[in-house]
Structure 1
Amino acid sequence: MKILIVGNGARESALGVKLKQDKRISKIFFAQGNATTDNLGQNYYESDIVSLRNLAIKENIDLTIVGPEAPLVNGIVDEFRKNDLQIFGATARAAKLEGSKAYSKKFMQDYNIKTAKARVFDAYHDAMDYVKDHSYPLVIKASGLAGGKGVVICEDVLEANSTIHKFMIDRIYGDAGIQLIIEEYLEGYEVSIIAFSNGKKLFPCIPAKDYKKAGNGEKGANTGGMGSAAPTPEWTAENQIDFEKNILEPTIVGLQNKHLNFRGFIFFGLMVTKDGCYLLEYNMRLGDPETQVLMALLENNLVDTIESCLKGEDIELKFSDKKALCLVMCSGGYPQNYETGFEIKGIEKVEHSTLLFAGAAQEAKKIVTTGGRVLSLVATADSFEEARKKVYADALPIHFDYAYYRQDIGEF
């Protein structure tokens, strides 16, 4: 078999490591890939949909798996299917549930999916008027794609005014912020649940925890993710029942009623409060860094599982009973401005974890930084404490200029 994986993060590295265990796979292409995928298969440096379609036809690719959101929103699945190419991911219509938070919020409201109260704003002055007399904190979200960073919890009206101005006037996330969602703040802890879709049903994985803030203790700016853990230790059987009844099942009804059937991944971003589970957002893909811990624990053969979903068959997911932890090492300044091009040293001393590059590439005989989230260290163990010791021991010898990482991943 030949596989194409679209994306260049640690998520795609984790998929590559998992797929490399399958002896039926003769070659894996990665578009655009990174320093890990360079050693797992062949990196392909074109990323537009037409080039990827042509690659899949030319190389007789048997299966394409899409990692990031932008190609899904832009219709890569639709284009591949037009050409009878097997691809696992959401169609453009289904991907709108991630591409437009305004659209997804209306979907949640229409199908009585448990979510925070919210209003959508298209006009700057209307949004500014709304936050004048609002109780705080409140949450302001850019409606479009903002790389996981377009959400701000505002503590007062000054921060709300500043956020609205940055999103709608300064356009810090481009067109993603020209429409806003302003919603009530929910107190609790976040959980990520990713499910496989076979076009009719959704099959959820074990819950994972994503550490979103740049600083220890969940302080600082939102990032794409500074680490993850699975299974989430706070999650209870009661939480699972609540999630299935009030979020998962009505989502399936909504997808069917709106004819948004797809075969791919769907991500539920949840807030667990004293009043139960609330849906914060949908992502129509695998999360990063959640994928790193889920792939480390998934016992199913990934290709078989995906092919069953593509055929519309039911699946039974099996996960190891171990604990998995992922620590993300970043470039100084991330998620704002940062420099790249620094050599990464000490990786040969990693002994206890799986090293998955993201924002890093091979140049001559060196590996250099190319992005904000540079690499992930993933370890499994019988306890989170033991997994923590592994990833932090392996982080110590790794060095690149301005490197930083959180010290509290795996502390709950």
Structure 2
Amino acid sequence: MKILIVGNGARESAIALKLSADHRISKMYFAKGNATTAKLGQNVYEDSVAGLRDFAINERIDLTIVGPEAPLVEGIVDEFKAHNLKIFGPRKRTAELEGSKAFSKKFMQTNNIKTAKAVVFDAYQEAMDYVKTQKFPIVIKASGLAGGKGVVIADDLTEAESTIHRFMIERIYGDAGIQLVIEEYLRGFEASIIAFANGKKLFPCIPVKDYKKAGTGDKGPNTGGMGSVAPSPEFTDAHYKDFEDHILAPTLAGLNAANIHFKGFIFFGLMVTNEGTYLLEYNMRLGDPETQVLLALLENELFDVIMDCLEGRDIELKFKDEKAVCLVMCSGGYPHRIETGFEVRNLNQVKHSQVLFAGAKNVGDKVLTTGGRVLSVVATGDSYEEARKKVYEDALSIKFDYGFYREDIGKF
């Protein structure tokens, strides 16, 4: 079997590493890949939907797995299926559940899914007038894709008005911010649950704790994710039952009612409050850095799970009775201005963990930084403390100029 994996993050590195042990897979290609995937297969420098389609046809790719959201929203699954190419992911219409926060919020409200109260705005002045009537803090979201950064928790009216202006007038995220979702602030802790979909049913993985703020102690700006832990230590059986009854079941019912029968991943971004478990957002793909810890614990062959879903068969997910910790190491300045091109040193001193590259490439015998989230360090253990100790010992060895990471991932 020949596999094409679309994406270049640590998520794709984790997928590649998991699949690399499967003897049925003869070759893996990555578009565009990174320093990890270059060692596990072949990186190809194509990123347009048409280019990827032609590559899959010419190379006779047996299965394509899509990592990031943008190609899904652009319709890569529709295009591949139109040419009888096997691909795991939702069609363009379904991907709008992630591509448009306005669309997904309406879906939640229509299907009585437990979520924060919210209003969608297309007009700048209406949004400005609305926040003057609200209690703070309040959450302001760019409706479109903004790389995980288009969400601001405004603590007062000045910050709210500034955010609306930057999103809708300055358009710091381009067209992603011309429509806004403004919703009530929920106080609690976040959790992520990713499920496989086989066209008829959803099969959830274990819950994951994701760390979104850039700084230790949950301070600083929101990022794409600074680390993760699985299973989430805070997410109880009661929280899961609430999720199952008021989010998972009505989501599936809503998909069926809309005649949406997709085969791929669906990500539930949750907030657990004193009043229960609420849905913050859908993603229609694997999360990053959630994937890194989930695949470290998944006992099933990933290839079998995906193929069973594509064939419409039920699956039974099995996870190791261990804890997994992922620490993300970033370029200085992330998630804002960053400098790249620095050598990642001392990789041979890593003893206990997997190093999964994201924003890094091979140049000769060196690895150089190319992005904000440079790499993930992942380890498992019988306890969070054991896994955490492995990760931080190895992170201490790895060096690149201006690199930084949070000090509190997996610390409870």
What TM-score, normalized by structure 2, do the two folds share? 0.99
- 2:271 match: 271
- 1:96 match: 96
- 1:69 match: 69
Counterpart of 1:112 in structure 2: which amino acid? N
Q: Distance in 2 between matches of 1:161 and 1:168?
A: 11
- 1:10 match: 10
- 2:280 match: 280
- 1:59 match: 59
Write out the 4+ residue segments of structure 1 that deviate beyond 4 Å after TM superposition.
none
Q: Is 2:250 the counterpart of 1:250?
A: yes
Q: Distance in 2 between matches of 1:128 and 1:139?
A: 13
How far off its partner does 1:259 sit?
1.7
Query: What are the superposed Cα offsets for residues 8-37 of structure 1, whole Å, 9 maximum, x if unpaired?
Result: 000000000000010111100000000000
Counterpart of 2:89 in structure 1: which amino acid? G
SS at match of 2:263: coil
- 1:20 match: 20
- 2:303 match: 303
Query: Structure 2: which 5+ residue stretches go unaligned?
Result: none
How far off its partner does 1:133 sit?
2.6
Q: Distance in 2 between matches of 1:397 and 1:236?
A: 35
Q: Distance in 1 between matches of 2:389 and 2:31?
A: 33
Q: Distance in 2 between matches of 1:332 and 1:249?
A: 42
Query: What are the superposed Cα offsets for residues 76-127 of structure 1, whole Å, 9 maximum, x if unpaired?
Result: 0000101111100011000000000000000000000000000001111111
How far off its partner does 1:411 sit?
1.6
- 1:221 match: 221
Q: Distance in 1 between matches of 2:63 and 2:295?
A: 18
Counterpart of 1:134 in structure 2: which amino acid? Q
Q: Distance in 2 between matches of 1:304 and 1:395?
A: 33
Q: Identity rate of aligned residues, in percent?
A: 70
- 1:403 match: 403
Q: Distance in 1 between matches of 2:328 and 2:148?
A: 15
How far off its partner does 1:149 sit?
0.8
Counterpart of 1:284 in structure 2: which amino acid? M
Q: Distance in 1 between matches of 2:8 and 2:345?
A: 21
- 1:235 match: 235
- 1:116 match: 116
- 1:364 match: 364
Q: Is 2:196 the counterpart of 1:196?
A: yes
Query: Structure 1: which 5+ residue stretches go unaligned?
Result: none
Q: Distance in 2 between matches of 1:168 and 1:36?
A: 38
- 2:180 match: 180
How far off its partner does 1:134 sit?
1.1
Q: Distance in 2 between matches of 1:397 and 1:406?
A: 15
- 2:171 match: 171
Q: Distance in 1 between matches of 2:243 and 2:134?
A: 29
Q: Distance in 2 between matches of 1:261 and 1:373?
A: 34
SS at match of 1:377: strand
How far off its partner does 1:213 sit?
0.3
SS at match of 2:245: helix
Query: What are the superposed Cα offsets for residues 16-67 of structure 1, whole Å, 9 maximum, x if unpaired?
Result: 0000010111100000000000000000011111111111111111111000
How far off its partner does 1:296 sit?
0.1
Q: Distance in 1 between matches of 2:106 and 2:288?
A: 25
Q: Is 2:81 the counterpart of 1:81?
A: yes
- 1:158 match: 158
Q: Is 2:90 the counterpart of 1:106?
A: no
What TM-score, normalized by structure 1, do the two folds share? 0.99
Query: What are the superposed Cα offsets for residues 303-325 of structure 1, whole Å, 9 maximum, x if unpaired?
Result: 11111100111100000010000
Q: Distance in 1 between matches of 2:411 and 2:213?
A: 14
Q: Distance in 1 between matches of 2:52 and 2:288?
A: 22
Q: Distance in 2 between matches of 1:256 and 1:245?
A: 16
Counterpart of 1:132 in structure 2: which amino acid? K
Q: Distance in 2 between matches of 1:251 and 1:101?
A: 15
Q: Is 2:129 the counterpart of 1:129?
A: yes
Query: What are the superposed Cα offsets for residues 216-253 of structure 1, whole Å, 9 maximum, x if unpaired?
Result: 11111000000000000111111111101100000001
Counterpart of 1:78 in structure 2: which amino acid? D
Q: Distance in 2 between matches of 1:321 and 1:217?
A: 28
Query: What are the superposed Cα offsets for residues 174-231 of structure 1, whole Å, 9 maximum, x if unpaired?
Result: 1100000000000100000000000110000000011000001111100000000000
Counterpart of 1:4 in structure 2: which amino acid? L
Q: Distance in 1 between matches of 2:377 and 2:166?
A: 34
Counterpart of 1:288 in structure 2: which amino acid? D
Alignment of 1:371-386 (within 5 A): 371-386=371-386
How far off its partner does 1:375 sit?
0.2
Alignment of 1:323-362 (within 5 A): 323-362=323-362
Q: Distance in 2 between matches of 1:2 and 1:284?
A: 24
Q: Distance in 2 between matches of 1:22 and 1:363?
A: 28
Q: Distance in 1 between matches of 2:358 and 2:162?
A: 32
Q: Distance in 1 between matches of 2:214 and 2:71?
A: 26
Q: Distance in 2 between matches of 1:80 and 1:135?
A: 47
Alignment of 1:304-319 (within 5 A): 304-319=304-319
Q: Distance in 2 between matches of 1:411 and 1:246?
A: 30
- 1:34 match: 34
